[in-house]
Amino acid sequence: MADKEWNPQEEASGGPRFDWIGTTLASAGTAPDTEREPGAALAGRDATDGIDLLDAYSRAVIGAAEKVSPSVVFIEAFHKEEKAARRKEQGKLPPGEAKPDNADPGDGRRPGEGMENQPRERGGTGSGFVFTPDGFILTNSHVVHKATRIDVALLDGSRYEASLIGDDPDTDLAVIRITASNLIPARLGDSQAIRVGQLMVAIGNPYGFQTTVTAGVASALGRSLRSTSGRLIENVIQTDASLNPGNSGGPLVNSRGEVVGVNTAIIRPAQGICFAIAVNTAKQVASQLIQKGRITRGYLGVGGQDIPLHRRIVRYHNLEREEGILVISVERGSPAHQAGLREGDVIVSIGEQPVSGLDDLHRLLTEERIGVKTSITLIRRFTEMITFFVQPAARRPD
């Protein structure tokens, strides 16, 4: 950090001033100071305009932060760890437990005796925000997934134990709930209305520093991000508003104080490349999680791999895409097995819609297709094109 920050107001009125053109003219004796007054006035007006722009930017960030900060919460989630002895063998003992054998348990046992069978809890932190007056909180799935206990701290310092309503690793979203009064819900905006270059404000708790505010712009829209479950999250917002571990689940806000995204990921080696799940996606997922506690998606029971198709095969079968899904395994008793799919088949369409890979297949296996007879077209032995009918089942939760 610099020893002294640059102050445009100080520079414009009485502070150090660098007017290179004026200095050159004065030293040459070609123009008196009075003839430089229009230029000086113009320079002063430019500086004032710069200050006004800075103030407008500051007002937008301050306004957004003041509107949303009361809704932002600090989340501490506890998960069961492996047994201490197993972690020790794997070299995964966390800090503070690296030498359990040196600790005296104080109950007559030898140091470390019995430790190998005691379950332990590991705490992780993240962010979230209240989005309904009755205590529903939106956050990331990876923050609270399989948590044994979830604690929530509000801006005023009050703490509550939260219950997990549901989480969806495929979109990295989760809903938890606390019972508290006088909650201030954040206003949800429309992520479809975002434009590249628009001001974005991120609020969260990086490294436990509660209600930290950073600002940037929407760097890009419509990105795709691979979730921890392997599925593709679409319509992701890229921003350069700084995010750090602990920001996960916090809101990404526009200048009107409306939540337009849920902060979820960063690229560690890079600077200024951060991602948020679009709030329109979050609205749909949160609604289903509140109603049913989980997201229901279709399931075929195949393991697959994206492969390119030879041009001769594409022309011979008049295919719309030059890629397909190679079936590498079929689960016994699954919808795919019952329909007659085999290892080595190449899926090229489902429901009369062409597919280029597993991401297309996941996108098409929606809840609406569960139990509905759906056509699936494949190429067998690269010479025979066959259409089967399959009834996707509901995917079992992880």
CB 176 within 8 A of CB 144: yes
Q: Given the residues 151, 167, 168, 172, select the one marked as catalytic.
A: 172
* Per annotation, catalytic residue among 69, 71, 127, 142: 142
Beta carbons of 118 and 105 less than 8 angstroms apart: no
How far apart are the C-alpha atoms of 71 and 143, rounded to whole Å? 18
Catalytic residue list contains 52: no
DSSP designation for 3? S
Tokens at 171, concatenated: 């979109």
Q: Are 324 and 313 in contact (CB under 8 A)?
A: no
Please check whether residue 174 is in contact with residue 140, taking contact to mean a CB–CB distance below 8 angstroms: yes
User: Is residue 344 within 8 Å of residue 380, measured between CB atoms?
Assistant: yes
For 107, the 3-state DSSP assignment is coil
The HSE-up count of residue 168 (CA atoms within 13 Å, CB side) is: 26
Q: How far apart are CA 40 and CA 23, in angstroms?
A: 12
- In DSSP terms, 298 is beta-bridged to 394
| The two three-digit tokens of residue 30, written as one number | 């070609």
- Which among 69, 71, 248, 349 is annotated as catalytic? 248
Active site residue 172: yes
Positions marked active-site: 142, 172, 248
